[in-house]
Amino acid sequence: MTDIKEIKLVDVKNNSNIINNLNSIYKLWGYEEVSPSFINTLETIKGRGVIDENQVVGIVSNNSLCLRPEMTTSIVKLSSTRLINKKRPIRLFTNGMVFDKKQNKNSIKLQEKLQSGIELIGYDTKCPEIEVINILFDAIDNINLKDGCNLFLLVSTTKIMELILNKYKNNYFEEIKKSLVDFDQDNLSKLEIDEDDKYILKDLLFTRGEPIAILKKLKTIYGTSKTLDDLNFLFDTLSKISNRYGVKLQLDPTFQPHLNLYEGIVFQLIGDNGKNKSVIAKGGRYDELVRFFSPNEKIFNGIGFTISVDILRNFIREENTDKKKILLMFKDAYLLEKGLNEQKVQQKRGNIAILYLNPCDDLAKANQIMKENNCSEILWVK
């Protein structure tokens, strides 16, 4: 089964406006546009085990090719080939369709999704997250969002999970990790581990909120560590940025991405309208992916985000255009050339001008044509 949806004209228009607005912000931050191929080799897309082969849409004519399920892997590979001699850091942005496959016992569901995002590769700093998340907030702030969207950024890091699981490396490691990620209290209860440990792990399932407060709680459990100290610095900086944009920060120690793409900081920008919560954007660090494609790089770091344009579209206001939409008409055929000239005059004034190419001297028919073309007035060419 393929989830094919005919996109309404108004949605096409809104998609275009969103992409244009996002691109304008990316460019102001010094990012350059790239366009990775729709078609990739399975070897490229799977990368270092980033994506399960069963999740990608293969091409029937060639089993070694597939449609891209995400764009980061292709862009990181691009940075190691055609952009290998470009001075680091590399700042890139892209827009386009990705293709998703969900398979169960009875059916296969294919989806195409419109995404926009950036990648920052090879930045020589401890916290490149500061720039990338700042751009995400700035880009969304440039969109005319409805009131009551209540944006919050859910953040975690794979390093916190490593800290939590460190003592279980030889004892139920995978089971505990899966239970934490899947919010599975029942499975935690069944594990044959110390009851005090069970209590701590179950409590962590409900431990999320203001980052600095959560980090203090983690320090009381696991003691001081470089991981927690680094995160304290990061969130102290990000909190000032998020306050400026009116976005709440939330740290969730057990949140982990389903794709094996990210290592380090992972995040999701979520919109909550009071009825539903929707993931508008997601991203994180992928240092090991950079290392995989570019083993000779001096700086092994990469971070980025993707915005779901299809989801973001549901959060924007309907924009009213101030432009006039004029229908140009003439009664005699010899006035066609004059009509074409008048159309150009109106367009240069910033008006939308549609020229009806057939002579018409019936006022009732002219008004009907005006309504059919959603024009606000008729300008008769004389």
- Identify which of 2, 84, 64, 70 has the alpha carbon closest to the alpha carbon of residue 38: 70
Tell how far CA 311 is from the center of its chain: 9
- Identify which of 271, 252, 160, 164 has the alpha carbon closest to the alpha carbon of residue 211: 252
> What is this structure's pTM?
0.84
Every domain of the chain and the residues it spans: 1-146+273-321, 150-254, 325-380
Express each pLDDT in 283-310 by its tens digit.
Answer: 999 998 899 888 888 888 999 999 999 9
Under 8 Å between Cβ of 79 and 118: no
Show the tokens assigned to 243: 């306050």
Residues 6+ away with beta carbon under 8 Å from 112 = 97, 98, 99, 100
Binding site members: 70-72, 115, 119
Residue 347 in this model has a pLDDT that exceeds 90: yes
pLDDT recorded at residue 133: 97
Express each pLDDT in 325-334 by its tens digit.
Answer: 999 999 999 9
CATH code of domain 325-380? 3.40.50.800
Position 179: which residue type? S
Express each pLDDT in 143-187 by its tens digit.
Answer: 999 888 999 999 999 889 889 999 898 888 889 988 998 999 999
Task: Give the span between the Cα atoms of 339 and 379, in whole angstroms.
Answer: 10
Residue 40 in this model has a pLDDT that exceeds 80: no
Task: Give the span between the Cα atoms of 27 and 94, in whole angstroms.
Answer: 11
The CATH topology of domain 1-146+273-321 is BirA Bifunctional Protein; domain 2 (3.30.930)
pLDDT recorded at residue 1: 45
Confidence of residue 53 (pLDDT cuts 50, 70, 90): low
Show the tokens assigned to 196: 């005090």
Residue in the block written with tokens 């080799």: 41
Binding site members for L-histidine: 70-72, 115, 119
